[in-house]
């Protein structure tokens, strides 16, 4: 089973934990709608790739961390789409959760996915000998989504009058990528802090790709309506650097991410995965000029 299949299967299993049978039917459907079909699953792939690079390709705790991270990412999208934030009726080419199920169920689906994410970690951490690493993984993930420097903080900076743009992106996007890499390392028993820089660079690269997709009217990467940044007055790298400048920055960040990979057994394979993912981030009609095919495994 490849990484993508493992992730989809683990997400489905998380939504089907024993107590799922008792879940109110509409809530259950709303949570499923928020998670399937997914996007590129970049963050959980990074967690699994990091754990594998650290010598633990089959770690149950790493798979639980990957699953939790994707559930939390999906929860943040559900809440971010709601009328009091982006008021986005579309997500991944389909109605957003609140557009389909109403605001109350969207709010609860997000809450439910957050709680479920932590339950998934709890179950993996409860296995013999996994308690300590589980607590470490739990702390890393909680901080990556939390109100201090995680996703919740990033969304809340949108409510402040004055915002440092780099800080905003670091919290809203970078923190979960950094946490995804760190959690994979921690689950594998490696020192997690050394792995954060890799995730941070990938988070920045993803942000540029997101800006390109938004500015160029390309919904393939984000699956949401294009032109939102201009409409909502948000910063966008394409407006600042131009298309060529943004593409060059995306390539530079990909190389910086690869340079940030700590010494590990699976360095070459991880490098190939990162180059492959970076290529997938490019808007399709740009023909991947920034990253040559020869660079992609």
- Shortest separation between residue 73's beta carbon and a copy of itself, angstroms: 13
**Judged by CB under 8 A, does residue 243 bind a copy of itself?**
no
- Shortest separation between residue 142's beta carbon and a copy of itself, angstroms: 4
Which residue blocks in 102-195 are alpha helix, DSSP H? Answer: 103-125, 131-145, 151-157, 165-169, 175-187
Single out the segment in contact with a copy of itself by CB under 8 A; choices: 2-10, 36-44, 104-112, 241-249.
Answer: 104-112
CA distances to 7, 18, 83, 189, 226 from 32, in Å: 15, 16, 20, 32, 25
> Residue 261 region, left (φ>0) first, then alpha (ψ -120 to 50), else beta?
beta
- Shortest separation between residue 145's beta carbon and a copy of itself, angstroms: 5
**Judged by CB under 8 A, does residue 59 bind a copy of itself?**
no
Output the six-digit token pair for 182: 């760190």
* Residue 95 main-chain phi, psi, to 5 deg: -60, 140
7 class by beta-carbon count within 10 Å (0-12 exposed, 13-18 middle, 19+ buried): buried
**Judged by CB under 8 A, does residue 134 bind a copy of itself?**
yes
Nearest to 60 by CA among 115, 14, 20, 116: 14
**Judged by CB under 8 A, does residue 152 bind a copy of itself?**
yes
Among 1, 25, 287, 294, binds a copy of itself (CB under 8 A): 25
**Judged by CB under 8 A, does residue 36 bind a copy of itself?**
no
**Judged by CB under 8 A, does residue 233 bind a copy of itself?**
no
Output the six-digit token pair for 69: 């991270």
- Which residue do the tokens 């500015």 mark? 215
| CB atoms inside a 10 Å sphere around CB 276 | 14
**Judged by CB under 8 A, does residue 228 bind a copy of itself?**
no
Interface mask (CB under 8 A) for a copy of itself, residues 63-82, using x and -?
A: ------------x---x--x
In three-state secondary structure terms, 90 is: strand
The DSSP element (H or E) to which 94 belongs, if any, is: strand 94-95
- Shortest separation between residue 41's beta carbon and a copy of itself, angstroms: 21
Choose between 172 and 249: whose C-beta lies nearer to a copy of itself. Answer: 172
**Judged by CB under 8 A, does residue 40 bind a copy of itself?**
no
Among 12, 13, 24, 284, binds a copy of itself (CB under 8 A): 24
- Shortest separation between residue 29's beta carbon and a copy of itself, angstroms: 11
- Shortest separation between residue 150's beta carbon and a copy of itself, angstroms: 7
Instruction: Tell me which residues touch a copy of itself (CB under 8 A).
Output: 17-28, 31, 75, 79, 82, 84-85, 102-105, 107-108, 110-112, 114-116, 118-119, 121-123, 125-126, 128, 130-136, 138-139, 142-143, 145-150, 152-153, 155-160
């Amino acid at each position: 089973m490849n990484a993508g299949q493992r992730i989809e299967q683990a997400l489905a299993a998380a939504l089907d934990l024993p107590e799922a049978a008792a879940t109110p039917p509409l809530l259950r459907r709303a949570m499923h709608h928020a998670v399937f079909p997914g996007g590129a699953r970049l963050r959980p792939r990074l967690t699994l790739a990091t754990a594998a690079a650290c010598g633990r390709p089959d770690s149950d705790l790493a798979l639980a961390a990957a699953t939790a991270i994707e559930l939390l990412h999906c929860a943040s999208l559900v809440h971010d789409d709601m009328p009091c934030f982006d008021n986005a009726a579309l997500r991944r080419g389909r109605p957003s959760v609140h557009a389909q199920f109403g605001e109350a169920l969207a709010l609860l689906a997000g809450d439910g996915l957050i709680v479920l994410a932590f339950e998934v970690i709890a179950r993996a951490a409860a296995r013999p000998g996994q308690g300590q690493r589980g607590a470490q993984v739990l702390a890393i993930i909680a901080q990556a989504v939390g109100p201090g420097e995680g996703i919740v903080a990033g969304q809340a900076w949108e409510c402040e009058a004055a915002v440092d743009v780099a800080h905003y992106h670091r919290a809203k996007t970078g923190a979960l990528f950094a946490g995804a890499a760190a959690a994979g390392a921690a689950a594998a028993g490696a020192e997690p802090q050394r792995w954060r820089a890799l995730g941070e660079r990938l988070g920045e690269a993803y942000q540029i790709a997101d800006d390109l997709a938004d500015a160029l009217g390309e919904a393939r990467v984000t699956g949401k309506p294009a032109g939102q940044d201009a409409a909502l007055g948000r910063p966008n790298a394409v407006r600042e650097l131009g298309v060529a400048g943004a593409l060059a920055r995306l390539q530079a960040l990909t190389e910086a991410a690869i340079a940030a990979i700590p010494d590990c057994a699976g360095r070459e394979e991880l490098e190939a995965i990162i180059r492959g993912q970076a290529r997938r981030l490019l808007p399709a009609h740009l023909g991947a000029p920034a990253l040559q095919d020869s660079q992609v495994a």
